[in-house]
Amino acid sequence: MILKLPDGRRSSILIGENIENLSNYLNSEKVFILTNPNISDLYSDIFPKKTTVITIPGGEKNKNLNTVLETIRQLIAAGADRKSVIVGFGGGIVCDMTGFIASIYMRGVKFGFVATSLMAQVDASVGGKNGVNCDGYKNMIGVFNQPDFVVCDPKTLKTLPERELKAGIAEVIKCGLIANNNLFSFIENNIDAILNCEEDKIYTVVNESVEIKARIVEADEKESGERKKLNLGHTFGHAVEKHSNNILHGEAVSIGLVIAAKISEQLNLITNEDFRRIQNVLKKTGLPVTTDISSANLLEAIGKDKKRENDFVHFVLNRGIGSSEIREISFDKLATLLEKALNAL
């Protein structure tokens, strides 16, 4: 699949590609693989020969400018130059950091990703958002810049911890809800096979999700309108994340999707039956669907959310299953809707 921007930039997204063919996409003498120790232990045997491997520490707490600086020092020491290609080989954290480092190293070198988590395959590797956290605030420093290529090999998900796989499925369900009723039904009907990482089922969910994201990014790369739809479930998802310890992003998004669906039902945009389907598919995946965080705490967290502009929130609502809309909702109205939604869960 090719992601084509209106100004001619292109990104090749190779879904179902065998990671062992990675060297076919590396047209440079000097290739640098950025990865983390976990992934390196599992996959170093298939890193192409004659590449320099740099490991960066994993975890959100290391996704910061100190790690960027340390990695840049290693690139300099290893002789990376403007003709080098940098490949991020790992989950979303590796991809976000690699894209950022490659965008600023010597004013920008070519880069690509081998996305090894479901979250990276369906979300982080596609769309050109790259960056790091600052003082606990997520993704505050970064750039928009598209990778040359993204390789998504379904078999890498077989080594992914199950909890991480489930967290990635939350984003797939989100994609189905935003734009593709058939993808949503496919997940309902095949959840066990997906959780077992059956390769043809994984191929379908990744392919359909990336298709949705790529088309949205083509229309609105910098998130001035349509791309905001990808934030379905994220307004309250981020709020849940801020008030929880040890919750994964996808798990928080799952709770955010249920809240958004309940609010959509209250606004008569979806039926109660649709709401139940959404809640059930998340439950069947093994994702959380309720929270005991108070509405006051969730609203307080949204107050600092980047998506709040003045006194309005751009809130993404379901419109049936497989369709969505962005509404400007006043902060006060949202507070009332949230209170009512939490009471109904």
Ligand X SMILES: NC(=O)c1ccc[n+]([C@@H]2O[C@H](COP(=O)([O-])OP(=O)(O)OC[C@H]3O[C@@H](n4cnc5c(N)ncnc54)[C@H](O)[C@@H]3O)[C@@H](O)[C@H]2O)c1
Let me know: does 144 contact 5? Beta carbons within 8 Å: no
**Apex CA 249: angle with CA 307 and CA 113, to 5°?**
95
Binding site for ligand X (CB under 6 A): 36, 38-39, 42, 58, 60, 63, 90-94, 96, 116-117, 119-120, 123-124, 127, 129, 138-139, 156, 159-160, 164, 249
Closest CB to ligand X among residues 139, 297: 139
Closest CB to ligand X among residues 123, 274: 123
Closest CB to ligand X among residues 287, 341: 287
By beta carbon distance, the residue nearest ligand X is 92
Nearest approach, Cβ of residue 158 and ligand X (Å)? 8
Closest CB to ligand X among residues 18, 27: 18
Nearest approach, Cβ of residue 61 and ligand X (Å)? 11
Nearest approach, Cβ of residue 43 and ligand X (Å)? 8
Residues 6+ apart with CB under 8 A from 339: 295
Nearest approach, Cβ of residue 326 and ligand X (Å)? 18
Q: In the chain, what is the straight-line distance between the N-terminal and C-terminal CA atoms, in Å?
A: 39
Closest CB to ligand X among residues 96, 211: 96
Query: To which residue do tokens 């791309």 refer?
Result: 227
Nearest approach, Cβ of residue 221 and ligand X (Å)? 12
Closest CB to ligand X among residues 57, 320: 57
Let me know: does 261 contact 274? Beta carbons within 8 Å: yes
Nearest approach, Cβ of residue 42 and ligand X (Å)? 6
